[in-house]
Chains A and B, each alone.
Chain A
Amino acid sequence: MAFKPALDDGVYLRESVQTAAKILVVGHFAVGKTTFIGTMSEIPPLRTEELMTQAGEGIDDLKGTTGKTTTTVAMDFGRLTLSDRLVLYLFGTPGQQRFVQVWEDMSRGALGALVLVDPERLEESFPVMDLVEHYGIPYTIAVNRFDDTETHQDEEIREALDLLPETPLVNCDARDQRSSANALIVLVRYLQSRLR
């Protein structure tokens, strides 16, 4: 080997890993995406930054903008090695509609998405729901309850978000590993059911 590796051993994937899969963790501002990824990841979460040109294209409404502006879109992600040969990456993807380019990239090759919602701020989830639907990404709703007073019933949330009967809805505390893993399991079961 020509170089001494720049990072510690534990950072690298097992030699036997052949396949990488990805699941998106999406939701509006401050809904718990970073927390969820930090809870589930086997490595300290990392960030990617991409320079984006914002033009008045796609589904964003930027009427009146002259020329282009550039912005940096940051995404955090984590990793879970799930077998000798398979690694799963969880990408936290911002829900703002102006990040169309990011969504185009992220939707390609994604198994599905976990949509985190805060029942107290359901309307803030509409733009991100539009995005996952626009890109045809199969999803499960994970209701992140920020206070324990269960004022919202699942049915109310389903109705407010206009969910299809088949779309799973699961409660999830992004700070809790069992709870977060369960939300992923519900999503993956749903993805399996769609193939039958």
Chain B
Amino acid sequence: MTTSDEPDQEPVAPQLVRPYVITNGRNLLGDHEFSLITLVTAAEDISRTGNLDPEKRRLLELCSGGYLSVAEIVGHSHLPVGVVKILLSDLTEEGYLFTRAPIPAAKLVDRHILEEVLNGLQARFG
């Protein structure tokens, strides 16, 4: 957990204060380009990571073994969703991460995806 390694300075909602610090005070509840199922991985050739925040470094480490969804990064990092989305968004802009965006909800696409989901479920459990 993010709050456990530091003494609480305020008795009120330390879990609120901490993310605010990590994200430099940016709004946690705005619209972000990342959804929970956006797939993310670290770039192959990362240099100059020395000046990254510890939290960003940790996320980058999580991402460096292959692709994971944003939800999985949240789950493994134990940080709140909003915080992770902001940090990942920064890391992507800074060139440390690559993403595979979730599919747009066009009907034609859905048709293919549903077929693939069905085939996959049947192959595995049928």
Say yes or no: is B39 at the interface (Cβ < 8 Å to chain A): yes
Say yes or no: is A164 at the interface (Cβ < 8 Å to chain B): no
B35 CB contacts on chain A under 8 angstroms: 108-109
A43 to B28 Cα, complex, angstroms: 28
Known: A91-B36, A105-B36. A111 touches B118 (CB 8 A): no
User: Contacting chain B: which of A143-151, A153-161, A181-189?
Assistant: A181-189
Encoded as 1 (CB less than 8 Å from any B CB) or 0, chain A from 174 to 186 comes to 0001100110110
A71 to B72 Cα, complex, angstroms: 21
Q: Are B121 and A48 in contact (CB under 8 A)?
A: no
A83 CB contacts on chain B under 8 angstroms: 116, 119-120
Say yes or no: is B90 at the interface (Cβ < 8 Å to chain A): no
Say yes or no: is A66 at the interface (Cβ < 8 Å to chain B): no
Contacts between chains A and B (CB distance < 8 A), count:
173
Say yes or no: is A30 at the interface (Cβ < 8 Å to chain B): no
Cβ-closest chain A residue relative to B74: A48
Say yes or no: is A19 at the interface (Cβ < 8 Å to chain B): yes
Q: Are A188 and B117 in contact (CB under 8 A)?
A: yes
A79 to B36 Cα, complex, angstroms: 12
| Most chain B beta-carbon neighbours within 10 Å: one of A72, A80, A185, A188 | A188
Q: Are B46 and A1 in contact (CB under 8 A)?
A: yes
B58 CB contacts on chain A under 8 angstroms: 6
A53 CB contacts on chain B under 8 angstroms: 29
A191 CB contacts on chain B under 8 angstroms: 110, 114
Q: Are A2 and B47 in contact (CB under 8 A)?
A: yes
A88 to B54 Cα, complex, angstroms: 31
A109 to B120 Cα, complex, angstroms: 19
Say yes or no: is A103 at the interface (Cβ < 8 Å to chain B): no
B42 CB contacts on chain A under 8 angstroms: 1-3
User: Contacting chain B: which of A9-17, A113-121, A127-135?
Assistant: A9-17
Q: Are A48 and B110 in contact (CB under 8 A)?
A: no
Q: Are A48 and B36 in contact (CB under 8 A)?
A: yes
B87 to chain A, nearest CB (A): 15
Q: Are A89 and B113 in contact (CB under 8 A)?
A: no
Q: Are B113 and A19 in contact (CB under 8 A)?
A: yes
Cβ-closest chain B residue relative to A184: B121
A178 to B126 Cα, complex, angstroms: 8
Say yes or no: is B61 at the interface (Cβ < 8 Å to chain A): yes
A178 CB contacts on chain B under 8 angstroms: 125
Contact of B66 among A13, A49, A82, A101 (CB under 8 A): A13
22 A-B interface contacts by CB (under 8 A): A3-B42, A5-B62, A5-B64, A6-B58, A9-B66, A12-B68, A15-B66, A19-B113, A20-B69, A22-B36, A22-B37, A46-B71, A51-B82, A80-B124, A82-B116, A82-B123, A86-B120, A109-B105, A178-B125, A184-B121, A185-B121, A195-B111
Sort A-B residue pairs by CB-CB distance and give the 8 closest, nearest first: A82-B120, A46-B75, A5-B65, A12-B66, A181-B125, A2-B46, A20-B37, A6-B61
